[in-house]
Structure 1
């Protein structure tokens, strides 16, 4: 038996091998968003209809995720993972020193990344929509801001993936697997 199965909890019962953390909506949202973002980025200037459809779908997903951040289960709620800048910086310092505490849901850096990614994706979607309107059709500055938001988002995704890898290594658990199964070890 692994150490996790031998752990005792109050009352002499064994703790479960894994607990539900990420609900189905969060998991589907995450992977669909990742795929659609790659699709939109890859088709930007080449296949305009696909790019626009991906963008509108991303905007719809974002609206649903924001609503879910207020009404969804515990670990999906913004109130569960949005922390102060001081807490985020302290966590990142501890993470760099490989002594960051483990969180069942999003850690402070992960929570900050969720918020920043939502903001940059809203900026990308908004400027993308603006380029389709009569008012901003052909406005070079809108296109440049749209591309800047898109490139910033891709850069943040790279940082996000690196953070997931470091946290997975530091806490000896696969956060990718947890985002697929929805389950993590309890402690």
Structure 2
């Protein structure tokens, strides 16, 4: 009898071909952050109250994600996906050769992108907050830094989406679906 047949007899179900990777918090965080950033970006000069509310919500989400990156489940933890610059470059070289290894969680380039986006968004939130204080009210340089960080974040988002598409193609895996369902194929 095969192992699969034994599992069907013993448990009544076929073993899953997929495995849970992204927990509900990571998935809700990801899609909420994407939506809120787009909302904040779109309303920046037009609807200040919505822009500010979105910014504060993003700051709260980032705080929670950083905490979750320290204490959350395996694939949510920074220790699972933050790699050295050398490892990131080696992975990118392998991607260019279409020989990149598949990772169940974030690959080294994806981990670097997570860190870059978090840092950029913290800077954007911090400068946004600064513009509401007495000390920096009307300071043109703070507004310019805030806008530059937001625009750089848009650039990172484009690179992130391209990276997801490349990895999905290279490993024949729908990573967008994985970030919705939380599941990826086992191997």
| TM bracket, shorter-chain basis | over 0.9
Aligned partners of 1:96 and 1:42: how far apart in 2?
34
| Residue of structure 2 equivalent to 1:5 | none
Distance 1:142 1:55 in 2: 15
2:174 — aligned with what? 174
Q: Runs of 4+ in structure 1 displaced over 4 angstroms?
A: 12-15
The answer to whether structure 1 residue 58 and structure 2 residue 58 are counterparts is yes
Provide the rounded CA distance (Å) in 1 between the counterparts of 2:116 and 2:61: 16
Alignment RMSD:
1.5
Query: TM-score, normalization: structure 2?
Result: 0.93
Aligned with 1:19: secondary structure?
strand
1:103-122 to structure 2, matched below 5 A, reads 103-122=103-122
CA positional deviation for 1:17: 1.0
Q: State the shift of 1:97 in Å.
A: 1.2
Question: CA-to-partner distance for each residue in 1:67-97, whole Å, 9 max, x for gaps?
Answer: 0000000000000000000000000111111
- What residue is the counterpart of 1:86 in the other structure? 86
Taking the aligned partners of 1:97 and 1:131, their CA distance within structure 2 comes to 46
**In 2: Cα distance, 1:16 partner to 1:151 partner:** 42
Per the alignment, residue 4 of structure 1 pairs with: none
Structure 2, unaligned stretches of length 5 or more? 8-13
- In the TM superposition, what is the alpha-carbon distance from 1:16 to its structure 2 partner? 2.5
Gaps of 5+ in 1: 1-7
The aligned counterpart of 2:10 is: none
- In the alignment, the residues of structure 1 paired with residue 16 and residue 172 of structure 2 have an alpha-carbon distance, to the nearest angstrom, of 17
In structure 2, the partner of 1:141 is 141
SS in 2 for 1:103: coil
Q: TM-score, normalised by structure 1?
A: 0.93
Q: Which residue pairs with 1:131 in the alignment? A: 131
For 2:166 and 2:29, the matched residues in 1 are separated by 23
Tell me how many residue pairs correspond in the alignment.
Answer: 179
1:15 CA drift (Å): 5.4
